[in-house]
């Protein structure tokens, strides 16, 4: 199961995060606005960051 979990740190609950890639899961930016998170990641030299929302703890989102 752990191999399918991208983020385990609760400090990102309720935030958008940007990862270098789905393979390199280093968080390079986080915040409340996905556009700002994307821009911050790109400013750090990440060409195609993976940006997604981390729901609050114990909240399930269905897309």
Whether 58 shows a pLDDT value over 80: the answer reads no
5 pLDDT tier (thresholds 50, 70, 90): low
Beta-bridged to residue 56, according to DSSP, are none
Structure token digits, residue 47? 């060409």
Question: Distance between CA atoms of 28 and 20, rounded to whole angstroms?
Answer: 7
Domain ranges (residues) in the chain: 2-54
Structure token digits, residue 46? 């990440």
pLDDT, tens digit, 9 for 90 and up, residues 17-40: 999 988 888 999 999 999 999 999
Locus of tokens 């700002």: 36
Which element (helix H / strand E) includes 27? strand 27-31
Exposure string (b/e) for 15-32, b if CB count within 10 Å is 16 or more?
Answer: bbbbbbeeeeeebbbbbe
């Amino acid at each position: 199961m752990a191999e399918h979990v991208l983020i385990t740190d609760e400090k990102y609950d309720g935030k958008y995060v940007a990862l270098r890639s789905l393979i390199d899961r280093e968080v390079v930016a986080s915040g409340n606005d996905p556009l700002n998170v994307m821009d911050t990641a790109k400013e750090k030299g990440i060409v195609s960051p993976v940006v997604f929302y981390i729901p609050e703890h114990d909240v399930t989102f269905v897309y």
